[in-house]
Amino acid sequence: MQTILENQRRFFRSGATRPLPFRRDALLRLQAALRKNENRLAAALHADLGKSPAESYMCEIGLCLSSVREALSHLRRWASPKRVSVPLAQFPATASVVPEPYGVALIISPWNYPVLLSMDPLISALAAGNCCVLRFSRNAPHTAKALGDLLSAIFPPEYVTVVGGGTEAASELLSLPFDTIFFTGSPSVGKRVMQAAAANLVPVTLELGGKSPCIVDSTANIPLAARRIAFGKTLNAGQTCVAPDYLLIHRSVKEQFVDEYAAAVRTMLGEHPVDNPDYPHIVNERHFHRLQGLLQGARIRMGGGMKAEALRIEPTLLDELDPTTAPCMQEEIFGPILPIVPFDSLDEVERFVQARPKPLACYVFTSDRHSERRLLNSISSGGACVNDTIMHLAVPNLPFGGVGQSGMGAYHGVTGFNAFSHAKGVLRRFTFPDLPFRYAPITGWKERVLRFFLR
């Protein structure tokens, strides 16, 4: 791995990755490869997670193609120096901010969206002019193999390469002095990544998770809210970092919501979702059994059925639980289980969410603009949606990232380009005239001029 890093650093220092035509060519090759390998990637995602071809395209491959198109359309503007104003005391001079690639980037991706969450940051890194080392999750082996073959066919290893290995290899990888690290995964592993990066003063972008609240007040369109929340919770069987994790709902509309949610699930997945071949499965037995344990301490209002041999769990609503002791409220669920916590006032909602770590997403369903503004202003989260779930990820001009325990830094669109770039400030001074008031001795009229400019 040390050799891989040295080879990539040597290639980067040659200056080959900096010209815009080189970056554009790399993005075009990646775009063509994603299109050419769409069927193989969809088959790999089905083998690893049970995703249907339609879901694989909508939530992974298609979004990657959208990101490539965005980068190709705006690359020249993103990479151009940005002029900034210069104070009169610096006359005559010009100043600009120059985006500069970091060098060699390490990208560590998770298993739940193995195409999107590896290729999307790779697109940003290549657009910014970096070399890249990628490490895929071993929990999605078919997709890792397909992506590894795809990348090795279009890029030389000194530019883009994939590394494997177990826990020891991962520790060795993190100990190396990369120029930047981009990690997507759990907060617990994110802490270890940041600790390892600190030893070499490597900047990190951490895309983590958390318990994202979904708030439904009494003015919300309940059938629409139920349908859109069910969409967000059943996508990838709930194995989504921004999936609604628990439902805070006004007591007056709770029963109507339960009925509408059940109807929405039936419409999307049929009477028996565990038998639907297009319904994704839980990634492995360990996570399947973990989710089983989260059903304790609550009343199952809907769903709860399981098919162990297929690793499938029905979309499930839990009610009448104690938020302080119920297992489903103590950790990120990462599955198709949605606990219900009723409320009577927005004061309760604010206290409840603010008492917990800042989430990656917050979803607000309301028809009251005052309530909308109040909740968005009082609840800190990585991102937010009003009257929808998940869909803010599909807006390339919105930064995507966490805050506090849910992560640091962001990407997507120009924000992703900036995440893999150093903003270098450059001042260009003219040689004439050379104003004398800054040179010692600074007394008399020189001091008066200096104080005037710096007042």
pLDDT at 5: 96
Quote the percentage of the chain above a pLDDT of 70: 100
> For residue range 396-414, what is the model confidence (pLDDT) as tens digits?
899 999 999 999 999 999 9
Would you place residue 306 in the very low, low, confident or very high pLDDT band (cuts 50, 70, 90)? Answer: very high
pLDDT at 447: 87
Residue 355 has pLDDT above 90, yes or no: yes
Domains of the chain: 2-208+404-424 (3.40.605.10), 213-401 (3.40.309.10)
8 Å CB contact between 135 and 162: yes
The predicted model scores a pTM of 0.94
pLDDT at 194: 96
In the annotation, is 241 catalytic? yes
pLDDT at 453: 82
> For residue range 259-304, what is the model confidence (pLDDT) as tens digits?
999 999 999 999 999 999 999 999 999 999 999 999 988 899 999 9
Would you place residue 160 in the very low, low, confident or very high pLDDT band (cuts 50, 70, 90)? Answer: very high
Q: Which of 429, 326, 406, 354 is nearest to 91 (CA)?
A: 429
pLDDT at 455: 80
Residue 375 has pLDDT above 90, yes or no: yes
Residue 88 has pLDDT above 90, yes or no: no
Residue 167 has pLDDT above 90, yes or no: no
Residue 432 has pLDDT above 90, yes or no: no
Residue 436 has pLDDT above 90, yes or no: no
> How far is 422 from 415, CA to CA, in rounded Å?
12
Would you place residue 90 in the very low, low, confident or very high pLDDT band (cuts 50, 70, 90)? Answer: confident
* Average pLDDT value for residue range 295-321: 94
Would you place residue 95 in the very low, low, confident or very high pLDDT band (cuts 50, 70, 90)? Answer: very high
Residue 32 has pLDDT above 90, yes or no: yes
Question: Which residue out of 59, 132, 241, 328 is catalytically annotated?
Answer: 241
Quote the percentage of the chain above a pLDDT of 90: 89
pLDDT at 168: 83
pLDDT at 156: 97
pLDDT at 278: 94
8 Å CB contact between 326 and 339: yes
In the annotation, is 350 catalytic? no
Question: Which residue out of 60, 158, 207, 332 is catalytically annotated?
Answer: 207
